[in-house]
Every structure is written in structure tokens, then in C-alpha cells.
A and B are shown apart, each in its own frame.
Chain A
Amino acid sequence: MAALCVLRAALCRAAPWGRRAASGGSVPQRIEEKRRAALLGGGQSRIDAQHRRGKLTARERILLLLDPDSFDEYDMFVEHRCSDFGMDSSKNKDFTVFGGSLSGAHAQKICKVMDQAAMVGAPVIGLNDSGGARIQEGVESLAGYADIFLRNVLCSGLVPQISLIMGPCAGGAVYSPALTDFTFMVKDTSYLFITGPDVVKSVTNEDVTQEQLGGAKTHTAVSGVAHRAFENDIDALLNLREFFNYLPLSNRDPAPVCECHDPSDRLVPELDTIVPMESTKAYDMLDIIRSIVDEREFFEIMPSYARNIVVGFARMNGRTVGIVGNQPKVASGCLDINSSVKGARFVRFCDAFNIPLITFVDVPGFLPGTAQEYGGIIRHGAKLLFAFAEATVPKITVITRKAYGGAYDVMSSKHLRGDANYAWPTAEVAVMGAKGAVQIIFRGKETDAEAEYVDKFANPFPAAMRGFVDDIIQPSTTRMRICHDLDVLASKSQANPWKKHANIPL
């Protein structure tokens, strides 16, 4: 975690002073005492209580998250209004101090590091374990939240912001993670909700547990608020370390390139047969993704939510890429409200932080039905379209099978400024499937036009003839082609017309 050591406070070790002033009540001695007291946070008994809940203290969490000796603490001496601490770019709420509730002083400390992070271009990581506003401090505490929210918004798109929810996080506190780029949770010990079960019971008379209301399972599978959940504190922090390496430090940096041992020209023979002969049969898009990326390592984002689209980070020849793929295994890989929103937010993150996008397309279209139409599929589907269209990072698209109708346009098509758009021989770029098309064209009439349609449209040639796909490639060569394209596109420079900001259909 190189990024976080950049902001080093000028705090020197206390030991040399201690030797000099042995007499009681001297300044160095008081420094030592206060430092020792601060290190204990809310005191040993509170630390033990935190451990009994299966959680670690903020200090222990930082120990695991950061490289050894790379954390320098700010404002350890801030008093009275609050005695906990913030950290450089890693804002952290210590549950052992006043239940981690937010005080004015606390907010001030968080704002201080966020300002610094924005200034130098360092990611912000928040480890959240907070009861909400500190009621005792009243409006000052509310003001503190707003100060943080404002900075979350101003940092958005400037530096990556990651929230790791490691305990209860209720009330106003939840909006900070909601504004950050990624929210991760710890299973069984973390909760996110506007109002807890007691308030819910008194207002709506619903009986619901904390876990059901705002546990990791709810937010990763049902609400889509959180992007991933981990087994426990240690698991979460170690995964966060790994995740961090995929990200650039700020929007001024290119996507990071790691040392890579996986040959960029590696052929992937199994891809030649991975798409089933019958176009109705499902296969797992993750198999394709894993076999193409470096060392089969894929950090999936939102793996349990809207599973008909797969998004996540991987590396190609060492360089971080964002991967978007329709998942034929779930709901035939169709686009619906949730998958469009999931995809759109991911695409915008990648675009904001210079991460090239690789899109694997096997999409039969948008999901029909009243539930979707009433839910506003038009509005939400437009988000994904908007995100792909405005993205100026390198965009490489591989059509593995179906690319039907409007969904074809949406999925990073050539028309949306795709840089390299490929089709596998199994690709079918068409307005719709043969059966549906024939039913509409020859409404009600008996016909054997289906085979003719398949022959004419259910293949990659019509698109290739018009240049809508740049090449029909042998699937086994896909990795090689993408790695090569990424090298060529590394210097891509493209800008959208100047504007205050675009107006994405929210």
C-alpha cells in the first residue's frame, strides 16, 4: 500500500525527549502519557468487548491494511470533543471510542485527511464502524457529516474512494459509503441502514433483524448497496489490500501495470469450443474471462447482485482492465434494470480512472415485461448506454454469441466509439433471434423462412461487411489480440466536448 504513506506527519518518536526530562509533569512525559492513552482508544475493556464481537480495533485494522511502518497518525492529541483519531488517507472510525459515533472533532479530522488526499492524489479508504451522529453533540455532529459528504462528492472521480463497513453503520453515516466508489462489507458483523430495526418496528410495524435489514447478504444480493462481502475483518482487509493494487492513485495516473508472468501471446485453445453449438444453451462467461486474463485472476465486483451481467477488475499483460460481460448462465444474459445500473456505474468508474474497458457480449436483448417497463427500464437502460458512449478510455469489445437489438448498440458497440470490436465465428449480430424475427415479418403465416434468416443474419458477416466489427477472430487468439490492442491504445487520447458536466439519466 504505497499510496497511503505519502502523507507523513512530522511526528517524531517520543523516546529521545523522555530521556532528557525525567522529572514529573514535564512536556515529554505528558506527550508519552497521552500517546499511550490514545493508543488504547476507549480503554482495554472496550478493546476486549470489540474482540468479543469478533471485530478488531481501528488500530489493529490499520496494522493489517497497510504496509508495516507506513502509517503515521494525525491528530492523536485532539481532545475533549473526541479522543479517537483519523489517519492519513485512510479515514477510520474507532468503535471503541464512544461507539465510533461521529463528533465534530472526528469529522474535522476526516476532512483534514480527505483534503490532503485530494490535493496530492491519493486514494481514500474509510473503515467504517460507527453508530451514527453523536446525539450529545447535536447539530455540530450533523454539520460534520455534511462536511464529509461534500468532500466525498468533490473527491469523486478525482481519487478512488473505498469504504469498508466493519460494524454497524446507521443513520447519516451511511451516506458517506454510498457516495464512495466501492463499498465492501464484513459478513455477520457489519450493517448498513438508515434506521435500525427498533425504529422500523415503531414506524412501519415490521419485524426485521439487523442482518435482514442491512446485513452483508442484503446489500450484496438484494439492494446492490454494497459491492462485495468478506468473511471477517482480516479477510476483508487483506482483500482490500489486493483490490487496491488494481486501482490508479488518482485520475491523473494511468491504470497501473504490474509485473506479469503470463505470456501476452498465450493462445487459449479451449475458447474455440466454449460456446455451445445450440444457441439456446448457456455457458459461463466467467470461464471465458478467467481463461483470457492474466493468471485467471478476476476481482469480481457485485458477484451476487444482478448476476446476468459480470463486472470486475483483472489484468492483461500486467495492466489493470475493467471487464464487463453478459452472463448467459443467468437469465440468458439479458439486460434488465439492475444489470444496467450495475454495469453503468462500473463503466463510469473505469472511465474516470483511466482503466481500459473490455466488454464480452452475449446479449439477447433487454428483458421484456410490465415489471421492467413500470420500473423504468428505459431510464435505467439508458444509463449503461450513456456510460459506454461517454467513456473515452480504450474500449475493446468481443461479441461471443448474441448481440441482438438495442442491447447490441449499448454493449460498447463500434457506434459508441469502440476502439477494437471483434466477433467470434459464433457471433450473431442481428435485430433479434431468428424465431422472433420470422414471427414478426411473416405474422401468422406458416413459413420456413427461419433457416433463411439464420443463414442471412444470425452470423457475424452482416456486421463485419459494414465495418461494425473490425475482425472476425478465432476465439483462441482473443487474449493475444486484446493484449496487443491495449499496447497500441495505451496512448489513446480522446476528449468529450467541454461542458460543466453531462446529464446522465439518473
Chain B
Amino acid sequence: MAAVLVLRYGARGGRRALRECETLCSRRCLKTSHKLYSAVYDPNEKTFEKLLIANRGEIACRVIKTCKKMGIKTVAIHSDVDANAVHVKMADEAVCVGPAPTSKSYLNMDAIMEVIKKTRAQAVHPGYGFLSENKEFARRLAAEGVTFIGPDTHAIQAMGDKIESKLLAKNAKVNTIPGFDGVVKDADEAVRIAREIGYPVMIKASAGGGGKGMRIAWDDEETREGFRFSSQEAASSFGDDRLLIEKFIDNPRHIEIQVLADKHGNALWLNERECSIQRRNQKVVEEAPSTFLDSETRRAMGEQAVALAKAVKYSSAGTVEFLVDSSKNFYFLEMNTRLQVEHPVTECITGLDLVQEMIRVAKGYPLRHKQADIPINGWAVECRVYAEDPYKSFGLPSIGKLSQYQEPLHVPSVRVDSGIEQGSDISIYYDPMISKLITYGSNRAEALRRMEEALDNYVIRGVTHNISLLREVIIHPRFVQGDISTKFLPEVYPDGFKGHQLTDHERRELLATAASLYVAEQLRSQRFLGTPRIPIAKSKRSSWELSVHLGDGIYPVAVSKDGSSFSVEVDGMKLNVTSEWNLALPLLSVTIDGTQRTVQRLSRDASGKTSIQFLGTVYKLQVLTKAAAELSKYMPEKAAEDTSSILRSPMPGAVVAVSVKPGDMVSEGQEICVIEAMKMQNSMIAAKTGKVKAVHCKAGDTVGEGDLLVELE
């Protein structure tokens, strides 16, 4: 024995561990392949030697991948909590630029400029968000002779200002939204402007991009509230408290045109992306092309987008966003002077690598393509997979550690852009996006079918995620028909999203699966290897009478073992359930009467409770023997907490303001405090009228999900 051990220790040294470590790292970097582009990378074309990515997460990884193909060395920046992040591991060099809060790290221009100097990076790709549309950053880079991968300062400034951009658009003969107007000083002025335009109006920070901080007001009171929030957000997020109020187009589609321009006056439109599926003005599902546009409208929009790009002497990739009403009238919304989150769908249908094109343009090369060369090949759909709870207003952020994580890359024509891996933390500091899941097909139906499969095969454990919502959207008849608008979610789910609604047959399939899993587990627990337990004298069991609790229902289920499969009787119907019954695999392929389903068993415990992800939605079930189920009626009900008199934080975040103190009277619906999470402010309101008994938080506190904030009497 001793000899064996000594030998083993002798043979194993630190060197082996090192080798194992190297293997791991290289595997991680290669895990996503860009099989969906047909882009050409010319190794002889001179380009930058070293490029810094002033971003984190999936977009930093995305840029690094193209840089590797182009032979450019990469520098990652990171905050201290991101020291082990994927983008840091992928880059050739990585430098810490500060602590976790973005204002001290990813927005810390001084520190980033320092890194650029130190690492001698010749160019900077800003990704999206952070400093991507910051003209000051672009100016400072230019002053240091470092190339900014994006348009020049003038275009950023012109398009970054919502008011100036609209004037420019008007002059370039681009359709603009009627009745838009000025800068706002106070709530009264906001109301006056809103009345002039006519309700509904939209209020947002002038300097902010995307839909973040955008508020819709239908009357004077909402205008005042919108003004207060938007001006606060404008001040805290952008240091610029100018606001924009404009006519709100009811029931519109959000369709945007990708443009690509060089420094030689050439500009192309790379077709549209349909981004109408949104919640709280943030995109969730995007696709290219749009089901709604005919080629005539597409060309008209494309030509206007190119006209605008040329009017501001735009170079690099950019996006012109339009609102399109039901009669296919389109109105210019804004131009984003950066790479968009949803750029992969355009890459899928055009075959271009937009990051490569941006780098080429920045290096001074003219575009390689003509407008006639830009195809629409097939159909691409993108789902934004977020760490959030879709059951709470279509998605409130959740945090946690990804205890298990596996991307569905084994499904054909799937691209996953992510910047996290198993073991990563989703923290309160950054955007809660887990990944962008993109599927591609020769037509829309194929792309959607693959998306369904990809979502079922995506393993995300440790954080709450929105797979259930995404899957419901892409199989909803209205979505499948292309009958969508930016109001799709509230219209389809007026009472909030409640997960997949099982048909009778689907419910039988789920019950049969749960019961079969239970029996498989029971059978396995009886199988001891090596020294046997004392043998059971009674005959081997081959049938089980079970009772399965699902929702409010209790269903008798009979299972009998039939070779390697189970014959399961539910609701008087017999189902044949087969599987390998490998209970350690995160993905379980089960065939129920010939229908293959990929299910995930997320948890189980000794008392028969289990949660199973089936058709995208997580169902909580309890499988008991018939005897146990009959006795469970005697078990005492545990008293539930009265939730109307207490206010708990619905998500992790920071307390921005508390507007009550103990002893105050509050009325139902009154704001009690404001929680900021993932750069979003959420107003917490009283669930009933009453007196404040205790306040458990103060401004500046960090709170976790479920933390007690305020108690009423």
C-alpha cells in the first residue's frame, strides 16, 4: 500500500497540474465558434498590432474573437471583481482599472488612458454602453493618437444629442416623429410641453442611449413623475440633466437599419433588424429580417439611413432606429453610433463580421462591398438570456453564482455570445445579461424551431433566468405570424407572465416524466455495489402507485417497469416513457409515446419535491407514494407570512431613497422607497394604507432579494 502511494505522489507533480490548467484555458477560449459568418480575413492586410477593449462581458469576448482572427493582440480592462472573468482570460493582456462600481472602473477614463499608454495599444474598441458613445473619450484618444473604433467625435456628438440628431435628420430628409421639442427646466415646463405635443408623450434623458430611463406619460401627473425620475437618472447616469419630451407613437414596431460607412464617403445599409419584443423599453427578442417590411419599405428606410449617415460624415458601423406604425409609416427615432447588442442577427443574414468591418474602416480602408452585394440569406433570431425573474414585471434582475452552465452549442446553427462560464458570478454591479442566443435557419420557421430546441438545451443553474419567457414568446401564435409590436408582452400577458400553460396532454407528459424520474431514482437507490446490503427477502418491485402534486392538483399516477422503459398510467391514459435515466446529466432526453422532450431536473429532495424545467418553464412537483399522499392530509398547515404589511425588496440592489419614517401614515400605492438595481430605478409602493411601524433600510444600503425594507402596522 505504502509503495503504491509513494509512486503515485512521485509521478504527480505540480507540472501536471499546470498542464491540466493550460488545457482548460485553451478549451474555454475556443468554446464558441463563428461558423455563421462567411467573412474573409486577409492575413496580409495591414492592421493594428494591439487593440484595447474598453468593455467587459460578452461584447469584450466578441471583439477579442475577431481580433484573434485578424491577428491583432488584445488588451482587456477589468474591475477587481472581474479579475477572473472570461474576457480577461481570453485577452493577451489584462489590466485592472478599479473597483467594481462602473464609475470607478469601466467608466474611469483616466485609468483607461493610463492602461492604453502603458500597454501601447494602438486602437480602442469601446463595445456598447460604457464609453462607446462618449465624445470626450473619443476626443482624448484622438489627442493621444490612438484610434477609436467608431465614428469620429463630431458624429458621436451630433447623434448623441437627441435634439440635434432630429434636426440633422430633418435636414437630411429623414422622416421624423411629429411634435418633438426641447430642453426642460422643471416639472411645470414638462407638463406644458407635454400638453402642447398632446398625450401620450415620451420622456427620457437627452444624453441616454437605448430605451433606458424612457418613460411614457399619459397625463399631467405622470409627466411630473416621469420628469422627476428621468432628470434624476439623467443626472446620475450621464451627468447631464437635459430631457427630451416627444410624441409617443402608440402600438409601433421598432425596426432599425444597420449602416456601415467608411472614411471615403461610402455608406451601405445592411438591412433591418426587428426589435419589437421589448419589456420596459428594453429589447428581448430580435430578428433579421423583419416579417413586416416589403422590399420597397426596406429600401426607403435603408436609403434614408444612409442619407443620414452621409449627412454627418459617419464612418464605422451604426444603427438608425425607426418606429414603424401599422401603415408602414416610419419615423426616425435615433441613431446609435456604436455596435449594437443585437448585431449578430445582421451578421448571420449578411455573412459580414461587423467588428472586422469596424476595425478595417477605423484603419482607413474603404468598404469592400457594394450595396448590391449585401444579401438577405435565411433568417436569424436572437434571444437575450438574462439573469432575471420573468414572473416579476417580465424581468426583475436576479443575482447569484452560475453553479452549472452549459451552452446549447450541440444544436445545429446556434451561436452563443457570452462572457460568463460555469462558476461566474452575476453581480449587482453590471448588466444581468447571461448571453445572446442566436439561431439561424434557411427560413424563419427553421430558425425558430432551432431556437426552441436551443432554449430547451440551455443549462443555467444558480440564478433565475428568463428562458421560460423567451420560449413562450417564440412559440406564441402572434409572434409566429409576425403580428407583433413593442406592446407585445403587455398585450399578450395583461396580468403578467405566468409561465407556460400546459395543455391536458402536456400535463400528462410532465406527470409521467416526474413519476418515472422518481421511480428511476428509487430503483437506483436500492442498487448497492461491492459489499451488498442484506438482501431484501420480498420479491422485487415492478409497479408503483404514486400521487403527484402539481400546482393545485393531485394526480394519481401508476408506474410499472417494462424492461428499460416505464409504462405510466395518468388520467386513464397509458404512456410509454423511455430514457437512459442518467440522473447526473443536467439535460435529460425523455421519449414519451414517441415524442422526444428535453427536460431538466433542477432539484429533488427526499420528500419527493422536485422542480422540472419542461417546455422552458420550471414546474414544482411533489411525488409521493399513494400511502404517503393519503397521510399528508393530516400534516399541519404552516402559517404563511402576512405580506400586505411588510415590504420586501423584490430584487438585489441599492437603496437610493427612503421617503417614509416610522410613525408616518402612508396610503396604498404611495412610494415608500426607491431601489436601484442594474442601473434601473424601481419605486417600491405601499400595499395598503397604514402607519409605518419600522424602517429597516436607509439610502445607500445594499439589499438582497427578499430583505425586509419597511413594516406597516
> What is the chain A residue whose CB lies nearest that of B23?
A267
Shortest distance in angstroms between A161's beta carbon and chain B's nearest beta carbon? 17
Q: From the candidates B84, B423, B537, name the one contacting A5 in the complex (CB within 8 A).
A: B537
A477 CA / B631 CA spacing, docked (Å): 46
> What is the chain A residue whose CB lies nearest that of B529?
A257
Q: Is the CB of B531 within 8 A of A5?
A: no
A277 CA / B78 CA spacing, docked (Å): 14
Shortest distance in angstroms between A45's beta carbon and chain B's nearest beta carbon? 15
A253 CA / B12 CA spacing, docked (Å): 32
Which of A55-63, A300-308, A384-392 binds B?
A55-63
Q: Does A70 reach chain B (CB closer than 8 Å)?
A: yes
Tell me which residues from 471 to 500 in chain A have a Cβ below 8 Å from any Cβ of chain B: 471-474, 476-477, 488, 491-493
Q: Bin chain B's interface residue count.
A: 35 or more
- B605 proximity list for chain A (CB < 8 A): 239
Q: From the candidates B9, B20, B80, B582, name the one contacting A471 in the complex (CB within 8 A).
A: B9
Q: Does A40 reach chain B (CB closer than 8 Å)?
A: no
- A477 proximity list for chain B (CB < 8 A): 17, 20
Q: Bin chain A's interface residue count.
A: 35 or more
Total contacts A-B at CB 8 Å = 157
Q: Does A76 reach chain B (CB closer than 8 Å)?
A: no
Q: Is the CB of A318 within 8 A of B533?
A: no
- B403 proximity list for chain A (CB < 8 A): 270, 287, 290-291, 296
Q: Is the CB of B631 within 8 A of A234?
A: yes
Tell me which residues from 238 to 268 in chain A have a Cβ below 8 Å from any Cβ of chain B: 238-239, 241-243, 245, 249, 253-254, 256-263, 267
Q: From the candidates B423, B424, B538, B584, name the one contacting A69 in the complex (CB within 8 A).
A: B538
- A188 proximity list for chain B (CB < 8 A): 636, 638
> What is the chain A residue whose CB lies nearest that of B530?
A257
Q: Does B493 reach chain A (CB closer than 8 Å)?
A: no
> What is the chain B residue whose CB lies nearest that of A48?
B634
Contact of A277 with B80 at beta-carbon distance under 8 Å, contacts A234-B607, A472-B14, A473-B17 already known: yes
Q: Does B195 reach chain A (CB closer than 8 Å)?
A: no
Which of B215-223, B497-505, B520-528 binds A?
B520-528
Q: Does B585 reach chain A (CB closer than 8 Å)?
A: yes
Q: Does A54 reach chain B (CB closer than 8 Å)?
A: yes
Q: Is the CB of B5 within 8 A of A235?
A: no
Q: Is the CB of B636 within 8 A of A232?
A: yes
Contact of A235 with B607 at beta-carbon distance under 8 Å, contacts A270-B421, A476-B20 already known: yes
Q: Is the CB of B17 within 8 A of A60?
A: no
Q: Does A231 reach chain B (CB closer than 8 Å)?
A: yes
A263 CA / B606 CA spacing, docked (Å): 23
Contact of A249 with B533 at beta-carbon distance under 8 Å, contacts A234-B607, A238-B606 already known: yes
Shortest distance in angstroms between A119's beta carbon and chain B's nearest beta carbon? 13
Tell me which residues from 452 to 471 in chain B have a Cβ below 8 Å from any Cβ of chain A: none
- A491 proximity list for chain B (CB < 8 A): 1
Q: Does B640 reach chain A (CB closer than 8 Å)?
A: no
Q: Is the CB of B20 within 8 A of A474?
A: yes
Q: Is the CB of B528 within 8 A of A257?
A: yes
Q: Is the CB of B635 within 8 A of A234?
A: yes
A241 CA / B521 CA spacing, docked (Å): 13
Q: Does B632 reach chain A (CB closer than 8 Å)?
A: yes
- A6 proximity list for chain B (CB < 8 A): 534
Q: From the candidates B1, B24, B606, B631, name the one contacting A269 in the complex (CB within 8 A).
A: B24
- A296 proximity list for chain B (CB < 8 A): 403
- A273 proximity list for chain B (CB < 8 A): 84, 423
- A3 proximity list for chain B (CB < 8 A): 533-534
Tell me which residues from 397 to 424 in chain A have a Cβ below 8 Å from any Cβ of chain B: 419-420
Return 27 A-B CB contacts under 8 Å, by A number: A2-B526, A2-B533, A6-B534, A8-B537, A64-B628, A122-B534, A188-B636, A188-B638, A234-B607, A238-B608, A239-B605, A242-B525, A245-B525, A256-B531, A261-B583, A267-B20, A267-B24, A269-B28, A270-B401, A270-B402, A296-B403, A470-B9, A471-B14, A474-B17, A474-B18, A477-B20, A488-B5
Given A233-B634, A272-B21, 6 more A-B residue pairs with CB atoms under 8 Å apart are A3-B534, A64-B627, A257-B529, A258-B524, A260-B584, A270-B421
> Residues of B at under 8 Å CB distance from A?
1, 4-5, 8-9, 12-14, 17-18, 20-21, 24, 28, 80, 83-84, 401-403, 421-424, 524-531, 533-538, 541, 582-585, 605-608, 624-625, 627-628, 631-632, 634-636, 638
Q: Ordered nearest first, which 3 A-B pairs have the shortest CB separation?
A: A270-B423, A54-B636, A242-B606
